[in-house]
Amino acid sequence: MGFASKNRVTNPKFWEASGGWSLDSLLEITDLTTEFDTSDGVVRAVGGISYSVGVGEVVAIVGESGCGKSVGAMSILRLIPEPPGRIAKGQVLFEGRDLLKLSNAEIRDVRGRDIAMVFQEPMTSLNPVLSIGRQLTETLLRHTDMSESQAKDRALDLLRQVGISDPARRLTQYPHHLSGGMRQRAMIAMALCCEPKLIIADEPTTALDVTIQAQILELMKDLSERLGVAQLIITHNLGVVARYAKRVNVMYAGKIVEMGTAKEIYHHPRHPYTLGLLASVPRLDQPRGTILIPIEGQPPDLTRLDEGCAFRPRCRFATDRCAYEIPELESVAGDHMSACWQHEDLDQKKGTAA
Amino acid sequence: MSVAETIGDENSLADAEPLLRVEGLKMHFPVTEGLFMRRTVGHVKAVDGVSFTIAPGETLGLVGESGCGKTTVGRCILRLENPGAGKVVFAGTDIAGMKASEISKLRQDVQVIFQDPFSSLNPRQKIGSIISEPLRVHGIIKDPTKRRERVAELLRICGLNPRFADRYPHEMSGGQRQRVGIARALSVNPKFIVCDEAVSALDVSIQAQVINLLEDLREQFNFSYLFIAHDLSVVRHICHRVAVMYLGKIAELADCDELFDNPRHPYTQALLSAVPVPDPTVEEARSHQILEGEVPSPMNPPSGCVFHPRCPQAIETCRREVPELQEFSPGHMVACPVVLGK
């Protein structure tokens, strides 16, 4: 992780040439497993996931509620309440350092400085009794040598960068003075304050109206291109992913079932779950008569997973093998991976089963 | 449901006598201040002069962002709010001045499916009792055994196992609960159902199941929906006609295909452009028109056209004159002086 790599990312020409890709990985997660003790037994919310995020890259994690996408992201910064939760095993390498092995003091230095987080609910994730200015400068004072007046100037500058009008007045205001979109902008400003290398955004636009969502997405996209900040975006909205991310990990029942570039995933899905998701979303650009093909059944109970593929009960392509052997992620073509025994001939079967 | 059938339906819908006629509906909520001497300091103009009709068997979509008044319109039709001004004529009778006994009768014909399947079912009531309550209250089926049979039938229609009648809501998933909400609405054989964000809280794979169920039911029982939603892709899928609301007023109203293919009002255009399409190649090619600013407060809406401070095409007239919803082409109504060329 030298200077060279940073320059390459901030250099727009390199950005274009690599299609938003970077060869250096900033974050490398291997076999991350997070469990929770519940009265019904141990829930393995994240069941051994591995992926990486390159310098300046935008990666999305897609899945439905309860698939473990948020828990997986929180585990990176060790924000899982213990007990009942625990990170059972795995490795989270950030710039070569394993975040899971750091002491509590060391991880606190990473949080907010190297890796920042943007949460879904800007109302509950901002402190209601502290002014916006105080919350912005807090991070700066904690992580840098800035004086209070320097921190205030920086905070003003940040609010301006994220498009908040009248920033001087906003600094003295409290979260309840701001609208939902404004609060989310303030959250992003807060995430940006120490120039992090990675921003983890957990459903950053889910609570917002579409026109405001478009504003926020545009802002985040612009920031990642201009400042070269890598982003890990967690969402259930397939449209947001398509507009925004270069690479996609699809999660189901605590595992990554498919990963690849956004175009590969959307145009040639190689996992029945991805296929099902794409067929079940109504699209604005399709003729109105298009019939939605829902995925039948319900997501599984994570306390009662057996030794087979977790998607099997809802899968149109399931075979006997799926019942007793869990498929691992396998390369389909280059970096495009799928965890399905059928991935090779899913294309042909798609036509016959639909 | 084939495409040809749907189109056939639509043609006949246009000529039919409307089941519901909403005319100049206004609903202003007072804003009060003071602890002991409560005084009214202003009004939130939640709904400010809304008119539309819905034909039997037709689905009208009502879309807009939070706070645009779409839910209040739905609540006025259900008489959960007493409209401040205007008319809501259902099957020939104005429901605005109805007495309590008449309202009870109205609710046999007009039902609702709410957004949140978690808070709209009583957690202490079994599913069977939730679904049979309307039957009991309205005295539709008086014999308990027959009522149980009807509940089982309703559960089956909504794709649930009849054994679920003995369960409590917490034993079910979000999608299943929403089906219970639908079964409850169906129990009284309504003519008209208000779906207030009925699929918004559900995950995509489950959402598609419920959308298909709503469509099947419409075909089977031929009732009308007022489909209130903020997700334009879902609205486009399910509705025959769509009204776009902004700050208590209808900005544009047209047939579904017409509205999505040829949006005229600048707000509709921006709204459609803001919706991401789940396809990276399409997204790359699309130009995104990003609206500046935010929805103003309905307590103190802008003068003239309420959209003018955010409108990229606003002219001087927009600041002064409140635009009327007028016909742009047959069946396509727009409230915008720029579009209408005035």
B276 and A211 within 8 Å at the Cβ level: the answer is no
Of A244, A284, A289, which has the smallest distance from its Cβ to B275's Cβ? A284
- What average pLDDT does the structure give for chain A? 84
Q: What are phi and psi of A247, to 5 degrees?
A: -125, 150
A296 and B288 within 8 Å at the Cβ level: the answer is no
- Chain B, nearest residue to A268 by Cα: B279
A285-295 pLDDT, tens per residue? 887 777 888 88
Residue B320 scores a pLDDT above 60: yes
Token code pair at residue A302: 């994570």
A171-228 pLDDT, tens per residue? 899 988 888 788 888 888 888 888 899 999 998 887 778 888 888 888 888 888 888 8
The answer, yes or no, to whether the previous bond of A287 is cis (omega within 30 of 0) is: no
Contact A61, A233 (CB under 8 A): yes
Of B211, B234, B277, which has the smallest distance from its Cβ to A285's Cβ? B277
A86-139 pLDDT, tens per residue? 999 999 999 888 999 999 999 999 998 899 998 877 778 888 999 999 998 988
- Chain B, nearest residue to A278 by Cα: B278
- State in words which class domain A3-56+70-103+246-352 has: alpha beta
pLDDT bucket at B117, cuts 50 / 70 / 90: confident
Instruction: Provide ipTM, 2 decimals.
Output: 0.78
Residue B244 scores a pLDDT above 90: yes
A231-240, B15-24, B79-88, B145-154 — which is least confidently predicted? Answer: B15-24
How many angstroms separate the CA of residue A203 from the nearest CA in chain B? 14
What are the structural domain ranges in chain A? 3-56+70-103+246-352
In the prediction, which pLDDT does B335 show?
93
Triad B257, B263, B265: Cα angle to 5°: 145
Contact B194, B186 (CB under 8 A): no
Residue A2 scores a pLDDT above 60: no
On chain B, the residues whose CB falls within 8 A of the CB of A239 are: 233, 275-278, 283
Most confident of A135-139, A182-186, B51-55, B136-140: B51-55
B151-195 pLDDT, tens per residue? 999 999 898 888 899 999 988 888 889 999 999 999 999 999 999
On chain A, the residues whose CB falls within 8 A of the CB of B281 are: 263, 266-267
Q: Which residue's structure tokens are 């992201």?
A: A73
Is the overall model pTM greater than 0.90, yes or no?
A: no
pLDDT bucket at A19, cuts 50 / 70 / 90: very low
Residue A23 scores a pLDDT above 80: no
In the prediction, which pLDDT does A179 show?
80
- What average pLDDT does the structure give for chain B? 87
How many angstroms separate the CA of residue A311 from the nearest CA in chain B? 13
Residue A42 scores a pLDDT above 80: yes
Q: What are phi and psi of A236, to 5 degrees?
A: -110, -5
- State in words which class domain B4-340 has: alpha beta
Residue B80 scores a pLDDT above 70: yes
| Interstrand relation of A247-252 and A255-261 (parallel, antiparallel or unpaired) | antiparallel
Size of interface A-B (CB pairs under 8 A): 134
How many angstroms separate the CA of residue B136 from the nearest CA in chain A? 32
B277 and A293 within 8 Å at the Cβ level: the answer is no
On chain B, the residues whose CB falls within 8 A of the CB of A290 are: 237
